[in-house]
Each structure stands twice: as C-alpha cells, then as structure tokens.
C-alpha cells in the first residue's frame, strides 16, 4: 500500500467519525430529556404533597403557615385539613392518608402512640368567654354563665376545648346548662357569631378571628386552663422526611412568630 493511499484513507475515516459523532449528539440530548421528564412525571422527583391534620383552632394560623412554608420550600405543597381533635384522631385510627397531626391537647395525641412518632409541643392557648358583639348580657365572669336566662353553648366533653371548659367550670363550682354542645371550637364560636347563643367558651385565638362579631371576656389565669398543642408525624406517612421537616419548622423562630401574631403562647 502506497503512503499516498494510506493518508487519503485516514482522512476519509476521520471525516466519517466526525459526522457520526455530530449525529449522535442530538440523539443523546433527546435521550437525556426523556429521562428527565420521566422522573418528573413518574413521581420520583422532589415534589411532595403533605396532608396536615390540624385542630380547628389552628385553621387561620395554619393557612398563613402553609403559604409561608410553601414559599420557602419550593416543591413541597401543604394541604391542611382542620377539624376537632377527636375527629382527627378517628381519621388516623381509620387509616386516613395523612402525614402530620397537630391536636389541641396532649391527651388526644397520647392516645395515638401506635400511629404517631414522638410529638413536639409547638404552642399553647388559653380560654376566654365569647359573647355577642357589645356583650349585651353583660357577662363578666365564669359564674355569670350559670344564669338560666343566658343561652350558653359549649363544646362537647369529647373535644379538647370542651374538656378544658368543664375543667374550669367545675373548679369554680359553676353549673351550666348549655343550649347545645358542639363538635369543635369553631362551631361554638359560630353559634355566638350568629346570635344563636349569648355566650360560649372558646380559645383566645378563636375569638381574635372574629373581633367584628364577638367580644372576648378574659378568664383570670388562676381560673383558666392551658391548652398545649403537640405536633407529630404519622408512622403511616409516605413522605416521612418531608413531614418531619415541616414539624421541625413549626418550632423555628419564623413559625413561632406566626403563631405569636395569632395570639398563641410559647410552648
């Protein structure tokens, strides 16, 4: 084989290699895009949707916390389902899919040790007497609630706020015949707002959400009860790490400020 012929052959081979490589580059790029899309659409990406079961008294403040957390943690969505703590406990026991549970008392949380991981207290609360705007019946203390002419509504004894109410009333030896017993604190507040009751016992933070419709009569600390709010991840959660991160965030200065601004007390 002559040197001239060999050089020509080498040049042709090199040219073919360049063309082949050029053709393979876009194909490789296409393959990379497909893999990326597949991960995103197949659920193996970073997007996470958390379901948080929260006590009714957390309805408004958790709406704010939810937006703040989502803004700071792109890819994590929060859905808050609020109800009475006893209702939430029933949902957990029935295996309802959720990631985080926050109750308005430790008793309810303690009854779910088999379904939850170790809880952290994130806030505390106190009771007030909610009256119709302007307090037309001049309710000034717990003892006033024993007046038979007064329409008083309380939460059911199975509800944390109902148990707290019974606790403070019994301690002061005040007998109340409520016109109804509600399933959660928001229902108690609603009855007063709508004028269906003259007064009701609610959390301080709930009364603060309706200052244009109800008045709040303070209950002295010595006669009051302290409500503790434990938060825990659920053992059945499919988003354990993300759920744990949210619970941990609830104790951060930023989250605590949101709770303080809503009237909740420090843990």
Q: What is the CATH number of the domain that holds 141?
A: 3.40.190.10
Do residues 152 and 220 share a domain?
yes
- Nearest 10 degrees: Cα torsion 166, 172, 177, 180: -30
pLDDT for res 12? 44
| pLDDT value of residue 192 | 98
Q: Which two tokens stand for residue 58?
A: 């957390």
Backbone angles phi, psi at 178, to 5 degrees: -70, 150
Domain that holds residue 173: 125-226
Residues 144 and 119 reside in one and the same domain: no
**9 belongs to a structural domain:** no
Distance CA 164, CA 155 (A): 9
Q: Which residue shows structure tokens 């009855």?
A: 191
Q: Give the list of residues 6+ apart from residue 104 with CB closer than 8 angstroms, or none.
A: 55, 56, 57, 58, 85, 125, 160, 161, 185, 203, 227, 229
Confidence band for 90, pLDDT divided at 50, 70 and 90: very high
Q: What's the mean pLDDT when you consider all of the chain?
A: 87
**CA gap 66, 72 in Å, rounded:** 10
Whether 89 and 201 map to the same domain: the answer is: no
Residue 26 maps to a domain:
no
Q: Is residue 81 part of a domain?
A: yes
Rounded to an integer, the average pLDDT of 65-92 is 97
pLDDT at 105 > cutoff 60:
yes
Same domain, 232 and 187: no
The per-residue pLDDT for 46 is 67
Do 118 and 160 lie in one domain? The reply is no
Closest C-alpha among 214, 195, 196 to residue 204? 214
Interhelix angle 253-261/59-72, nearest 10 degrees: 150
**Dihedral, 60, 240, 104, 163 alpha carbons, nearest 10:** 140
Q: Does a structural domain hold residue 7?
A: no
Q: Are 82 and 55 in contact (CB under 8 A)?
A: yes
pLDDT in tens, 8-59: 444 444 444 443 444 344 433 444 343 333 333 333 346 999 999 999 999 9
Q: pLDDT of 148-201, one tens digit each? A: 999 999 999 999 999 999 999 999 999 999 999 999 999 999 999 999 999 999
Rounded CA-CA distance 260/130 in Å is 20
Query: What domain count does the chain have?
Result: 2
Domain-embedded: residue 104: yes
């Amino acid at each position: 084989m002559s040197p001239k012929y060999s050089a020509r052959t080498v040049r042709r081979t090199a040219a073919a290699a360049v063309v082949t490589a050029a053709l393979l580059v876009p194909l490789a790029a296409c393959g990379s895009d497909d893999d990326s899309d597949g991960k995103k659409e197949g659920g193996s990406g970073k997007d996470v949707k958390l379901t948080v079961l929260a006590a009714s008294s957390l309805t408004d403040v958790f709406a704010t916390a939810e937006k703040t957390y989502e803004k700071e943690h792109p890819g994590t969505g929060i859905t808050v389902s609020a109800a009475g703590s006893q209702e939430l406990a029933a949902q957990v026991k029935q295996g309802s899919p959720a990631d985080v549970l926050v109750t308005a008392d430790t008793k309810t949380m303690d009854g779910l040790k088999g379904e939850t991981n170790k809880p952290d207290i994130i806030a505390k609360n106190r009771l007030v007497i909610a009256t119709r705007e302007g307090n037309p019946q001049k309710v000034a203390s717990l003892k006033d609630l024993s007046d038979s002419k007064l329409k008083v509504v309380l939460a059911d004894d199975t509800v944390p706020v109902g148990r707290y109410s019974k606790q403070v009333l019994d301690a002061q030896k005040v007998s109340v015949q409520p016109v109804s017993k509600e399933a959660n604190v928001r229902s108690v507040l609603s009855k007063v707002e709508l004028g269906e009751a003259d007064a009701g016992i609610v959390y301080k933070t709930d009364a603060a959400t309706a200052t244009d419709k109800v008045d709040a009569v303070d209950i002295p600390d010595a006669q009051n009860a302290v409500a503790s709010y434990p938060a825990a991840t659920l053992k059945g959660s499919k988003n354990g790490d993300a759920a744990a991160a949210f619970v941990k965030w609830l104790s951060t200065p930023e989250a605590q400020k949101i709770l303080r601004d809503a009237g909740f007390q420090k843990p």
